[in-house]
Structure 1
């Protein structure tokens, strides 16, 4: 564990870099919402309205069924980042994944706020924010570790600098990725069992907002 903490401390500049890249993606995703046409905004509004009504009336899928799909989706991000970190050419892919994750979150929150104002912000706070407060740092830490390992491979194998044994860095990189995967399983449980409950708390206000918009 001491070696892991030391490795993470050494990668602080990379954390800052991927964090800024993620925030740029969030801003870009929010800007995409304002670029939608009126027809696209109407389709989006209809989809969200139907979703809120369904959640309010029928709830969400059974937790055991949805847990594994949520966990698998989140683990795929970690697994893909780990794989990309093993190859020299995977470095741009890691950066693209971090940017896309930011775009997805920015677009989701932007859609909710643009369509339903503070009602949408409230729904975003209970449905998007809680699990992402842990999920995003996990992805960024994994990305920083993958970038660091990839850069080490580039310096050693491509640029021909002093060759160092790759076994220890690879082991530390893999252990860190496994720790992040365990955290993913934990936060997936929260997203499966707790987030739907909070969503049900605020959905009636969204349904009322949908009805009001439909009457206008």
Structure 2
């Protein structure tokens, strides 16, 4: 089984490299989008961030923890489920790659906004608010993307190119089983994002609130 896993991983290495590079391109593109914002948009963004940090510091938290957990978990599971669904068809193959790129854009834009508004303090906040859970979430999504692309390519080889009638039941079960296993990881990641990330953010948010208040003077 270990030998099979190593063989599979070796065969899929080009796909892992490709989706990782695509994701990183999205991160860079998202960060560059911050520079394209107009002065008015930057001012609106600065006010929004300032209000967010003020509200965050005043929030006693706790009672809404469970509802927040389910909101985060459902959002992450929807993203994973969408990749799984797109992998079930040939026409969904480009959609998988687009989702990986968009995920990179979202993260790059978020970090870019924080750094653009608060320089090193924004980078510090990004390290405690964006980075921790995404260090696990992003690999999970990339693994799911590679599995989805692989299954979609299997459909192309067996149904389109070779015009054969080879069974896809085993690849489908393996693919679905992997996604279900990754879903459990998503639950754990969502728990961390719900109860641990806010604590980390609480350590840094007062610094950014002061910086935002000073900038508005």
1:99-140 per-position Cα deviation (integer Å, ceiling 9, x unaligned):
000000000000000000111101100000000000000000
Task: Give the structure 2 partner of residue 133 of structure 1.
Answer: 135
Query: TM-score, length-normalised on structure 2?
Result: 0.95
- Runs of at least 5 residues in structure 1 that lack an aligned partner in the other structure: none
Give deviations 1:40-63, integer Å, cap 9, x for gaps: 101111111100100011155621
Matches within 5 A, 1:100-111: 100-111=102-113
Give the number of aligned pairs. Answer: 215
**For residue 205 of structure 1, what is the aligned residue in structure 2?**
207
Deviations 1:71-123 (A, max 9, x none): 00000011000000000100000000000000000000000000001111011
What TM-score comes out, normalization by structure 1 length? 0.95
Q: Is the 8 A contact 1:60 1:196 kept in 2?
A: no
For structure 2, the 5+ residue unaligned runs are none
- Determine whether 1:56 maps to 2:21: no
**Structure 2 partner of 1:166:** 168
Moved more, 128-137 or 165-174: 165-174
Q: Post-superposition shift, 1:158?
A: 1.3
Deviation at 1:201, TM superposition (A): 0.6
Q: Are the counterparts in 2 of residues 4 and 172 from structure 1 also a CA contact under 8 Å?
A: no
Tell me the distance in 2 between the aligned counterparts of 1:170 and 1:187.
25
